[in-house]
Amino acid sequence: MGKIVKNKIKLEFLSRPENVALSRVVVASLASQMELTLNDLEEIKVATSEAVSNAIIHGYQNDPDRIVQVTGVLDEDTLVLEIIDEGIGIPDINKALQPAFSSDPERMGLGFVFMQSFMDEVNVESQVAAGTKVRLLKKMGRRTKAQAVS
């Protein structure tokens, strides 16, 4: 028998920078239904911001009229978020996941690093010219890598 879904969301918005904050608020509202610390909640918001920003900046190359999709599923002890774009895709996911790598020289290339340190799991699927799906998973009551170090 599978886990019982407590709540779920599906949000679509234009690929505009001001919608990064919108995604943070919606995801935070969903995540706050779990038993989380304020630090956990902040980390989920940062990971969401990074994934949505990547979709806008890298996936859509700042084209403000494309669609970013954010879905969230909350069960008894897990939050699963998916951030999906239909942009240019990532030619080499392993390279993109490396610290300090960025396709934009103006960027620091730490988005995936933050996502990986703040979430319990990060999975990236991408096809060139077809888009990218970033899946973020947070388990309730588990310490992230960042918390374990501090």
DSSP codes, 22-91: HHHHHHHHHHTTS---HHHHHHHHHHHHHHHHHIIIIISTT-TTSEEEEEEEEESSEEEEEEEE-SS--S
The active-site residue, picked from 19, 24, 43, 50, is 50
The values of phi and psi at residue 72, to 5°, are: -140, 135
Nearest-10 Cα torsion for 57, 60, 63, 66: -130
The active-site residue, picked from 16, 42, 107, 135, is 107
The active-site residue, picked from 19, 54, 66, 82, is 54
User: Catalytic residue at 50?
Assistant: yes
DSSP codes, 117-131: HHSSEEEEEEETTTE
List Cα–Cα distances, 149 to 94, 98, 117, in angstroms. Answer: 24, 20, 10
Which positions are annotated as active-site residues? 50, 54, 107
